[in-house]
Amino acid sequence: MSEARNADGAVNLADKLATFSERWSPRVVAQMNDVQFKLVKMQGDFVWHSHEETDEVFLVVKGEMEIGLRDRDVVLREGEMFVIPRGVEHITRAREECHALIVEPAGVVNTGDAGGDLTARNDVWA
C-alpha cells in the first residue's frame, strides 16, 4: 500500500495522526493481506457493539482508553494492546483524546452490529 508509506516504505503513525482531527473515524493506513491497520482518535464514549466474525485489536499509541465489556472494564495506556474476541459486546471510551491503532480484517465495520451515525468508511487513506 504505497500510498500509506513515506519514500522509504515506513508508515509514521504520528505523522498520519497529525493530518486529521475527527474523532471516531478510523483511517486505514496500511493493509497486509486481508488485515487492515487503522488509526483512530477517540474521546468520550463510542457505541456498544460486537463483531460476530472476527477478533479486534486495539493498541494505544498516545493517551489512555477504556474498553468496556459486559463483565469488566479494561484500561489501556500508551504502548498497551488488547484483543477483543469475536462476538464479545464492547464499547470504547476515552476521557481525554486518545490515539489508537486498530488491527482487524479488511471490511470490518467499526460499529459492528450496531450501525448508526458513527459508522466509518473502510477506504485506504494516504
- Is residue 123 a part of any domain in this protein? no
Query: 39-50 burial string, b = 16+ CB within 10 Å, else e?
Result: bbbbeeebbebb
pLDDT in tens, 26-41: 999 999 999 999 999 9
Which CATH number goes with the domain that contains 68?
2.60.120.10
What's the pLDDT band for 121 if we cut at 50, 70, 90? low
For residue 73, the enclosing domain spans 2-105
Residue 53 lies in a domain: yes
Number of structural domains the chain divides into: 1
- Tell me the average pLDDT of the chain: 86
Q: pLDDT band at residue 102, thresholds of 50, 70 and 90? A: very high
pLDDT tens column, 58-97: 999 999 999 999 999 999 999 999 999 999 999 999 999 9
- As given in the structure block, the three cell numbers for residue 99 are 490515539
| 120 falls within a domain | no
Q: For residue 82, tell me if it sits in a domain.
A: yes
